[in-house]
Amino acid sequence: MFELKKAKCELQTILRGYKLLYSIDKDIIIYKALRAAIAVVSPYTTLYFTAQLISGIAAGKTFGQLMVYAALIVTINLIMSVLSRLVSRKIRIADQNLWNSISLYFNSVNMKMQYEHLENPATHLKRDRIFQAQNANGFGVMLLSWQVETFVNVIASIILSVALTLGLFTLKAPGEYHGMWNFVNSPLSALIILGLLCLNIITSIKMTGKSSAVFYNEIKNLADQNRVSFFYLELLGNYESAAEIRIFNESPLIQKSWLNYMLHPVYTTNIVRANARFARVQTGSGFVMNLVLYIFIGAKAYMGAFGIGNFVLYTGTVAKFVSAVTSLFDTFARLKNNNIYLREIFEYIDMPNTMYQGTLPVEKRAFCEGGDNDYEIEFRDVSFKYPASEEYALRHVSVKFHVGERLAVVGMNGSGKTTFIKLLCRLYDPTEGEILLNGIDIKKYDYDEYMSIFSVVFQDFKLFSFSLGQNVAASVKYDRERVKACLEKAGFGARLQEMPEGLDTCLYKDFEENGVEISGGEAQKIALARALYKDAPFIVLDEPTAALDPVAEYEVYFKFNEIVGNKTAIYISHRLSSCRFCDEIAVFDNGKIVQQGNHEELIADENGKYHELWYAQAQYYNT
């Protein structure tokens, strides 16, 4: 009973895997199943009509009648060959697209995944294992694709073999027979032959299962080694790391580290030895089975149960039946072992999103003339600790600010500044307390609508190997004049004039030979322009001038009000000198707001944290 439940569970996992494959790319299943069906028809058609042709010759049929069988064989095979070529062309395209389709699917899963999962290193490790298993050994969804044709082929072969072989066990030779010949002509002999067939199949299944188990056990032990090995290979091929590798002559170190994680010969040896051992048992069992079958079929033909044509038919179809049943269970064994990787995929895509999505629409407060600009955000006694952590990252934070205000968030590293922004943008929800937008808990707002009112330049922002215009607009199609205006505001106007193809210039050289490498400061200006292009009412700037030279930094500060306009700006910085223009400054320390006010008020408090930080930095400017 336990084994039956286990088999049922494995089958359910396989079926769910095929449902996933169908949702990712249904064409791959349809075309491969069609090609498999076509591949089965041809040999069975040839076998059947060849048997009829031989029987016709033995029966003395006319040349014209015999040619009908020959013509049918040639015609059907020609049609099947043409259809197979047409379908194969579709499959080649589908196979190439499947790798990309799988990546796109997982990217869509990531976009819907709760942010705390994305920040969890265990999630990254799980995704790495999934793609290492797929890319290195073809496990997971990819293996399901490869087994479609085998599965359809063996099912169709079994059905056709049974249909064409029934006469072997039902036809009796005419006349009276004694001894061994009587036994061959009796139903008992047919039952014994069927029993031997089952025994051979069971032996083959066990050997296949053991062989597959050895293979998968050896390979799965290499998952982490492969992951690290690929990391070192990519590092050596990464042009961004080339300068540092050359300066410090790190290539030997990296190459040696890579070699340490290469596939050890012992794994390959174990697999080869196991396959050879199990193959010997399968070969011996198959030889005995085929010998018994040929004797049985030959004896019945000799006794006159059927003619020479059917002898050819039965010997061919019985052999194909045995091979098909063995392949069926072989395929199931492979798919069952592949379930290890499918379950990891399901664990990844089934990660629960416990964050309440909300339903209330966010009021659209216009910034144009006539708009009331009346947005208000309030943190009300908010405390927060990260999942799996016992320490609070924020404790009893209360602050309120309106649209159009400039709020600076300052403090030492680890004081809670970034956590404050993550809660504001609802990447996490508070552990205690609440955050309000216009007096309503932000959890009640539609999640996507709430996210749309924020535009953020993170300290570790990313630009991509797309055109400059696409990077700013975060879209394939965009308003070119608006993109230019945002780049001008962000201080990138002069550099834009030097771009060889203007907004169509590709950033970086990953995909375009003529791509332009940009400096860290230039990248930061582009990221700021991207935040402006979104035109959200709240703009969050996390160290927005960290990579800028002093002149460029001064230009940003000087034009800050023009850049931000009537949006609410929340400004995170380690440089307190850059916060003087803000209406309000919130000083964080150990997860709490310890001071709040404008620069003059805070600097006047000689015992305050702001005064301490200010003069700790000022000494470097006054020497």
DSSP string, 31-93: HHHHHHHHHHHHHHHHHHHHHHHHHHHHHT--HHHHHHHHHHHHHHHHHHHHHHHHHHHHHHH
Q: SS3 helix, strand, coil % of the chain, rounded to 5?
A: 65, 10, 25
**Residue 138's closest CA among 34, 215, 214?**
215
pLDDT of residue 487: 92
pLDDT at 462 over 50: yes
Q: Of 81-90, 144-153, 206-215, 227-236, which range is least confident?
A: 227-236
Most confidently predicted of 210-214, 282-286, 311-315, 538-542: 538-542
Q: Kindly report, residue by residue over 470-497, the tens digit of the pLDDT.
A: 999 988 888 999 999 999 988 888 899 9
CA distance 621 to 623: 6
CA–CA separation, 533 and 301 (whole Å): 85
Q: How many CA atoms lie within 13 A of 74 on its CB side?
A: 6
pLDDT for position 365: 46
At residue 371, the pLDDT reads 45
Q: Alpha-carbon distance 383 to 419, whole Å?
A: 10
Q: Where is average pLDDT lowest: 69-83, 172-186, 226-240?
A: 226-240
What is the band of 441 on the pLDDT scale with cuts at 50, 70, 90? Answer: very high
- Given a contact cutoff of 8 angstroms between Cβ atoms, the answer to whether 273 and 258 are in contact is no
pLDDT given at position 2: 53
Q: What is the pLDDT of residue 562?
A: 74
* Strands 584-589, 592-597: pairing kind: antiparallel
597, with CB counted inside 10 A (0-12, 13-18, 19+), is: middle
| Tokens found for residue 558 | 């000087």
Residues 6+ apart with CB under 8 A from 298: 311
- Give the pLDDT confidence score for residue 258 in this predicted structure: 59
Environment class of residue 290 by beta-carbon count within 10 Å: exposed (0-12), middle (13-18) or buried (19+)? middle
| Ranges 112-116, 127-131, 417-421, 562-566: which has the least confidence | 562-566
Q: What is the pTM of this model?
A: 0.70
Query: pLDDT band for position 220 (50/70/90)?
Result: low
- How wide is the angle at C-alpha 255 spanned by C-alphas 251 and 260, nearest 5°? 150
Distance in angstroms (rounded) separating the CA atoms of residues 141 and 29? 12
pLDDT in tens, 525-551: 898 899 889 888 888 888 766 666 666
Q: Is 184 helix (H, G, I), strand (E, B) or coil?
A: helix
For 98-126, the pLDDT digits (tens) are 888 888 898 888 888 888 888 888 888 78
pLDDT at 140 over 60: yes
Backbone angles phi, psi at 454, to 5 degrees: -115, 140
Torsion angle of C-alpha atoms 303, 305, 311, 317, degrees rounded to 10: -130
Q: Taking 80 as the threshold, does the pLDDT of residue 221 lie above it?
A: no
**In this structure, which amino acid lies at residue 318?**
V
Amino acid at 561: N
pLDDT at 175 over 80: no
The per-residue pLDDT for range 8-62, each reduced to its tens digit, is 888 899 999 999 999 998 889 999 999 998 888 888 888 888 888 888 887 778 8
Q: Is residue 188 predicted with pLDDT exceeding 50?
A: yes
Does pLDDT of 366 surpass 50? Answer: no
Cβ atoms of 403 and 566 closer than 8 Å? yes
pLDDT at 79 > cutoff 80: yes
CB atoms within 10 A of CB 476: 9
